Structure 1
């Protein structure tokens, strides 16, 4: 990682503030299951079937995934640090369990599965190991973490519409997950025409 890469993140607004100021716009454009790729829907639904139990959608944003899993009968909680997202989600999805918070505030051993679907993409690489440790702490033994991310050949920042985000090779994420106490069980990528390469990785708490 170059000094220039670090500088991009240092001058970015906080993630919470960046999403808070654009919550309504984001929810209108991306906050519905109708815009979710079929492959993503199948991946998350298959993961939820395997895991069951108490699920957390951390970094839920407008909570369309939370509401979708709730409608499928899962015990799921949507969690996001942006109060604007939580307020929107409560209006849009009444009856769905929603909380303000982040990986750092998750209770210990409270969940059987954590969905982090593109919610770590803005985390600077130097901070990601601690975030994964928080996820590990919040899972029950044998609990599962499913991460969606932008896949790349190396760890590097790029200009995301909201604030700086990062590409990750799955091998590097796997290394950090292992160091945080996880066993990686599966991973994959997909490439839609004209867009960034998408990746996912699943790991269980040792």
Structure 2
């Protein structure tokens, strides 16, 4: 495991409980994100992988919308927490830098790609493309900007060591097109976030 992957795994193992507490009710005040989930749930057909699922809240919300959703996360502590809090759903330890099980009707990756270095993003998108069935739907959420920050302290004041990559939406869209996706929509969330909808060609 490369240094950035092990740092990311260990950091989220450390903050798993605090992160879950911080994000548990976060979507209550974010109507545009809830709307993005509803659009995804209405458009997707077939099983869905929530990649970088953390404590499983998005996986559970999609399940509540009638989606056959399961979660994958790099952090064993996050996966254990997700299984505990959502015992009826499936969660596995895994990395988006490795091939994903398929075929899938959809993949959702909210604010998990932000830790992947630029040179590996095309590899990740290749894995997403390979795992999706024809016309499979991909939804990405990420921070907008053009810089990388080193995060050394996280949720609950616990130490972390993760690089957070902020990217222009058009750069992410270009990577998606190069991987064989059609970008169907780009939503800007204020000035610091974006949601991209893409479909496998």
Instruction: Specify the TM-score bucket, using the shorter chain as the normaliser.
Output: 0.7 to 0.9
Deviations 1:120-169 (A, max 9, x none): 011111111101111111100111110000112x3x20244442201111
Instruction: Find the aligned partners of 1:77 and 1:60 in 2 and give their Cα distance.
Output: 9
Distance change (3 Å), C-alpha of 1:205 and 1:90: same
Q: Is the 8 A contact 1:33 1:68 kept in 2?
A: no
Instruction: Find the aligned partners of 2:101 and 2:38 in 1 and give their Cα distance.
Output: 24
Number of residue equivalences: 191
Structure 2: runs of 5+ lacking an equivalent: 155-159
Work out which of the residue numbers 54, 60, 71 in structure 1 matches 2:47. 54
TM-score normalised to structure 1 length: 0.85
Query: Which stretches of structure 1, 4 residues or more, deviate above 3 A after TM superposition?
Result: 10-13, 31-36, 159-162
Distance change (3 Å), C-alpha of 1:141 and 1:32: same
- Shift in Å, 1:69: 1.1
**2:148 matched to which residue of 1?**
157
Instruction: Find the aligned partners of 2:110 and 2:179 in 1 and give their Cα distance.
Output: 19
Q: Is the 8 A contact 1:12 1:164 kept in 2?
A: no
- Shift in Å, 1:17: 1.4
**1:121 matched to which residue of 2?**
114
Distance change (3 Å), C-alpha of 1:86 and 1:189: same
**1:202 matched to which residue of 2?**
197
CA RMSD of aligned residues (A): 2.0
**1:66 matched to which residue of 2?**
59
Between the two structures, name the one with larger relative contact order (CA 8 Å, sep ≥ 6): 2
